Amino acid sequence: MIASTLISNSIIPLRTSDTGREALSLMREFNVTHLPIVNNEQLLGLVSEEDIVNQGIDEDIGSYSLTLNRPYVKGSDHIYDVIRQLGEHHLTVIPVIDYDDNYLGLITQDNLLRFFAEAGSFTEQGSIVVLEIAKRDYSLAEISRIVESENAAILSSFVTTNLDRSVVDVTLKINRKEIQHIIASFERFNYKIKGTFSENDYSDALMDRYDAFIAYLNV
């Protein structure tokens, strides 16, 4: 999956002649706190809600000194690069440009979350298991072997780092609704079960883990 497939053109970029007040109105309409500034298809930068508040809502955007210069992704960049940029700069949108620096559109956090929510591994029925593992002991191969020994399969997994950097949380989506035997197998091999979620809880779990996923990719 590359950035160009997630582009949204529903949000019109700002021009340097637009005022802060107009920018704030657009931000509120689309529930974002950043907007790109484009001049003749060239990306000039991003303006934030904070920039506008600090520099005057009735001033032209072109007169601002921006706290964010030109964070962007190329249309051919991988989705993980999109996540990294959003997390690194604490953005609600990220501009997408081509190899000539022409503005193609933007990707919002909502676009990204919707992509993961609609991905096959997320839409398939199943359950969630969160394991807490010492980083030195983490082995996806071993975890998969335990799950497969109970005639189940891991549909997706990701790892997030705890405040204690020696420990990681491993979140597994498993293609079974009934996972008591899988839990028992993990416990038999001395895995710490940090949490389990049923299919009904899964959407809420996905929202809760989204920020952690971005933080992980920035480690």
Q: Note the pLDDT tens digit of each residue in 109-125.
A: 888 888 877 765 666 77
CA distance 204 to 201: 6
Please list, in sequence order, all residues whose beta carbon lies within 8 angstroms of the beta carbon of residue 163, skipping any fewer than 6 positions away. none
Q: What's residue 70's pLDDT?
A: 81
User: Do 208 and 124 sit in the same domain of this protein?
Assistant: yes
Q: Is 182 helix (H, G, I), strand (E, B) or coil?
A: helix
Cβ–Cβ < 8 Å for 214, 160: no
Which contacts qualify for 185-192: CB closer than 8 Å, 24 or more apart?
185/146, 185/147, 185/149, 185/150, 186/129, 186/131, 186/146, 189/142, 189/146, 191/131, 191/133, 191/143, 191/146, 192/131, 192/132, 192/133
Q: Which of 116, 151, 177 is the last residue of a domain?
A: 116
User: Do 112 and 123 sit in the same domain of this protein?
Assistant: no
State whether the Cα torsion 188-189-195-197 is positive or negative.
negative
Q: How many CB atoms lie within 10 A of CB 81?
A: 16
User: Do 79 and 173 sit in the same domain of this protein?
Assistant: no
Residue with the larger pLDDT of the pair 110 and 20: 20
- The parent domain of residue 18 ranges over 3-116
Q: What predicted TM-score, i.e. pTM, was given to this entire model?
A: 0.67
Written as one string, the DSSP assignment of 102-151 is BEEEEEEHHHHHHHHHHSHHHHSS-EEEEEEEEGGG--HHHHHHHHHTTT
71-116 pLDDT tens trace: 999 999 998 889 888 988 899 999 999 988 899 999 998 888 888 7
User: Do 92 and 135 sit in the same domain of this protein?
Assistant: no
Q: Which of 116, 133, 157 is the last residue of a domain?
A: 116
Output the domain CATH number for residue 192.
3.30.70.260
User: Do 170 and 98 sit in the same domain of this protein?
Assistant: no
CA distance 74 to 97: 5
Give me the number of domains the chain comprises.
2
pLDDT at 216 over 60: no
> How far, rounded to the nearest angstrom, does the alpha carbon of residue 86 sit from its chain's CA centroid?
7
Written as one string, the DSSP assignment of 155-171 is EEEEEEE-SSTTEEEEE
